[in-house]
Amino acid sequence: MDLNTALSPEQRIANLEQLIASLAAGKSTNKPPSRWQRIDKPSLVLRASGAAILLLAAFGALMGPRNSAGSMSLVAGNPVIVGTTVADTWANSTMTDFQVEFSDSLSRSAKGGMLSNLQLADGTVNVPGLDFVSEAGSGLRRAAVNDLRLVVNQLDVGQWTANGYRTAAGAVATPSFSWIAETGTGWYRAGAGDIRFAVSGADKQFLSATGLGIGAAPTFPLDVATFVGKTHARFGVNTANPLFVTSGSTSGIGLGYNLQHNGTNWLYDTTATGAIAVWDTSANSLDMYTAPSGTAGNAATLTKRTSTNANGFTIGASGTAISASIRGTASLTGGSISANSVQTINITVTGAAVGAECSTGYSAVQSLSLIPSCRVTGSGVCIFAFSNYTTGAISSVNDTVSCRVWNP
C-alpha cells in the first residue's frame, strides 16, 4: 500500500476509524480509503479484530518510550513518508514500545501497583496536589520546601516540617488532638500561650507561662480550683499514708494525713491511723487533730491535740491558751548555801508578764539536794533560786541558769 500524500497523525487515525466503522457495520469491501492506493498485496478486506490491530499499530507508530519527565517521542522511522509500503518488518516493531508504555501506565481499577515513587504537583490550599474525586478541596499539598500540609475543606489543618508536626488551633468543643470515638475530649490552643485540655467539650486543664491550672486558668505556678467532695488533691496515690489538700470542709481548710473530706466527714483513705491540720475559718484558728487506726472508707473520729489562735497556743481541746513562751539566761557564781537558805539570781526575760508560769534550767552538775525554782516578780524579770532545805550547808557550782516564762 502506498500513501498518496503526506498525512498528519490525526488524518491517519481518522482514516482507520472510518475503516473500522465500516467493518463494524458488517460491510465487506476491497475499497480502501480514498487517499490510499491498492498495491500488489493481499486484499484489504479485514475483520473487525484485524482492523483494531491495524489501528493499534498506527498508534504505536506515533509513540516512543517516555523519558523520566514523562515525555514521549516517535520511534525511528516515524512518521512514514509518501510512498512507504506497509510491511510487517517495520509496522509490527512499533507495537513493542506501545505494549511497554501501556503496561507502565497506572490502572484506574487497581490492576497492578506502583513500581516506583508517585510524583505529584505541589497543589494549593484550594486545589491540593493529591485530592479526592468527591471532595476536591481536601487532600495533601506541598506549601514550600520541607513543608507539607493536610487540607480539609480548603483549609490547612495539619503541617509537617523538618521540626515535626503542627496542627490547627481547634476549639473547646472540637480539640485539635482528640479521639475518633470522643471528639470533644483532647488538647487545643485557646490563644497565644494558652493551651487547654477539654473533656466532653469543657475546659479542665490550663497551661500558660504562669503555670498549670486545674479547673481554672492559673494565677500561680499551680492552681487547683476543683475538688471531689471537699478534697482538692491527693499526693502519694496508692501509698500507705497519702497526703490530701482540702478546702471548704466543715472544719475549714487544711491538710489530711491519710484522711480525705467528702463534704461531710473525714474518711480514712487506707487502713491506718490519720491526722489533719486544719485552718478553722469560723474560729480563726489552726488546729491539729489525730485519729486512731481505722478502715479505709470509714469515717474517722478526731481528737483535737493543739490549737493556735488569736489567744495563743492551746494544748488539748479546752486547755488554757499560752500567748508566748520567752526564755532568758544568766551566769550563776557558785558558793555555800546555808541550811534552810536560798541562793538567788535575777534573769532578764524580756516580755515576761508578772505572775506568769515559769520553768528553770541549768547545765552544770549541781547537788541533788538543791531545789531549783523560779517566779516572775516584775515585768521582764524572773528570779532563779537554788533552795537548801537540809540541816547542813551545800555548795553550788558556777553555772549558766535559765528561766522560761509562759505568758497567759
pLDDT per residue of the chain (408 residues) written in tens, 0 to 9: 444 445 555 565 666 556 555 555 555 444 444 444 444 444 333 344 444 444 444 444 445 567 777 777 766 666 667 777 777 777 776 667 777 777 788 888 888 888 888 889 999 999 999 999 999 999 999 999 999 999 999 999 999 999 999 888 999 999 999 999 999 999 999 999 999 999 999 999 999 999 999 988 999 898 888 878 788 888 876 666 788 888 755 556 788 889 888 888 889 988 999 998 888 877 888 899 999 999 999 999 999 888 888 888 888 877 778 888 999 999 999 999 999 999 999 999 999 999 899 999 999 999 999 999 999 988 899 999 999 999 999 999 999 999 999 998
Q: Which three cell numbers stand for residue 325?
A: 513562751
Residue 295: what pLDDT? 94
Distances (CA, A) of 210 to 92, 188, 213, 216, 220: 79, 18, 9, 12, 6
The pTM is what? Answer: 0.51
Distances (CA, A) of 291 to 254, 274, 288, 295, 315: 15, 5, 10, 11, 16
Q: Three-state secondary structure along 273-339?
A: EEEEEEEECCCCEEEEEEEEEECCCCECCCEEEEEEECCEEEECCCCCCECEEEEEEEEECCCEECC
**CATH number assigned to the domain covering 324-407:** 2.60.40
Burial category of 111 from C-beta neighbours within 10 Å (exposed 0-12, middle 13-18, buried 19 and up): exposed
389, containing H or E segment:
none
**Closest to 184 measured CA to CA, from 207, 204, 166, 154:** 204
Q: What pLDDT is stored for residue 20 in this prediction? A: 57
Question: Nearest-CA neighbor of 408 among 327, 316, 313, 315?
Answer: 313
Residue-level pLDDT at 88: 75
**Secondary structure, 3-state, 182-199:** EEEEEEEEEECCEEEEEE
Domain with CATH 2.60.40 in the chain: 324-407
Residue pair 45/51 in contact by the 8 Å Cβ criterion: no
**What is residue 37's predicted lDDT score, i.e. its pLDDT?**
41
The answer to whether 276 and 244 have CB atoms below 8 angstroms apart is: no
Smallest Cα–Cα separation from 122: which of 113, 133, 134, 130? 130
Q: Tell how strand 252-257 and strand 272-280 pair up.
A: antiparallel
Whole-number pLDDT of residue 57: 45
Q: What cell was used for 212?
A: 498549670
